[in-house]
Amino acid sequence: MSDIASIAQGVRDGAVDPLEPATEAVSRLHDHNEGPSGLNAFLAALSTEDVAALESVASGGRLSGVPVAVKDNMATVGFPTTCGSKILEGYQAPYEATVVRRLREEGAVIVGKTNLDEFAMGSSTENSAYGPVRNPCDPLRVPGGSSGGSAAAVASGIVPGALGSDTGGSVRQPASFCGVVGMKPTYGRVSRYGLVAFASSLDQVGMFGATVADATELLQTVAGHDPRDSTSVDRPVPDFSEERDIGAEGLEVGVPSEYFGDALEPGVKAACQRALDLLEANGARIREVSLPNTAYALSAYYVIATAEASSNLARFDGVRYGLRDSSGEDLGEMYERTRTAGFGREDKKRKIIGTFAETAG
């Protein structure tokens, strides 16, 4: 599989049929994803017949013909948007997320929606209502989460790039587990319109690539102000590729002492040290720094994230969309039965914690 820029250039030059990369990706997807030993990285996907039926792609776009996967908590037309939850099983969004629209406008072919921890709550992609995702590097291990499906889709070579969402590490951590590049942009750089909210003040669309260049291409495509998102920053989008290949010479790298304590697994510590040694050998300056508030970070995250989740997920009550269990005697019982059947254990736990945090005063 070629890199994103090469695929798009081949299509723009007429050397590659615009639908060929997507056809090949869909074939790989069905080979790797399904069956008892499959990755289970996708919850919905195109077939080769679906690709053949596409009228056209933007042959002059930045991502012309590039097959891309999208995490299933972003609204898409043509695929269900389930958030990995039974409460949204089969739900068809009436509009598309801004990031998905921008991908399509630049010629990308969305080949499928990827599996995730339910409503992005988890760190292993074992909490999906549709089963766990397997790590392509070792099927007996988890791919990380909550964007484990997107990470696995790139790591297995199904697609060269994918979108995920990151609230507290949900792109960066699975990228690490699967051995691919993952990044969470600065909050406000990429529109959240159409991203189903977990914790609104922390959620951000992120990207996976087989290489830094691939991740850069996706960021360049989806970044920019969006008037539909009140948290979107109205600033020019720079050419990120200009700083992609500057190297490590003169770079100053801080190593937080709080991150390298006794609790750090020795293998992880050794891998980090190898990376630091490589940076130093290529001209970077390594120095120890202190981030004294680190001790409070996890506690602060769990108060903010769960409280916002409790508020955001209150809308899934069986009244407007998704699952409805109306076998009870009144409205309150309908709420209770619907949410009991529709949400998984991890989501229920986090909403209970968040509801307590909001009312503890």
**Active site amino acids:** 71, 146, 170
CA torsion, points 334, 340, 342, 347, in degrees to nearest 10? 130
CA geometry: angle at 162 spanning 160 and 168, to 5°? 135
Q: By three-state DSSP, how is residue 46 classified?
A: coil
33, 40 Cβ separation under 8 angstroms: yes
- CA–CA gap between residue 87 and residue 121 (Å, rounded): 15
Spell 106-122 as b/e; 16+ CB within 10 A means b. bbbbbbbbbbbbbbbbb
Burial of 249: CB neighbours in 10 Å, binned 0-12, 13-18, 19+: exposed
| Those residues with Cβ within 8 angstroms of residue 338's Cβ, 6 or more apart along the chain or in another chain | 87, 316, 317, 318, 323, 324, 325
- CA–CA gap between residue 125 and residue 296 (Å, rounded): 26
CA 197, chain centre distance (Å): 13
Cis peptide leading into residue 146 (ω within 30°): yes
CA 247, chain centre distance (Å): 27
- CA–CA gap between residue 41 and residue 150 (Å, rounded): 7
CA 301, chain centre distance (Å): 19
Neighbours of 159 (CB within 10 A): 34
| Residues making up the chain, counted from first to last | 361
- CA–CA gap between residue 223 and residue 236 (Å, rounded): 9
| Those residues with Cβ within 8 angstroms of residue 274's Cβ, 6 or more apart along the chain or in another chain | none
- CA–CA gap between residue 124 and residue 145 (Å, rounded): 4
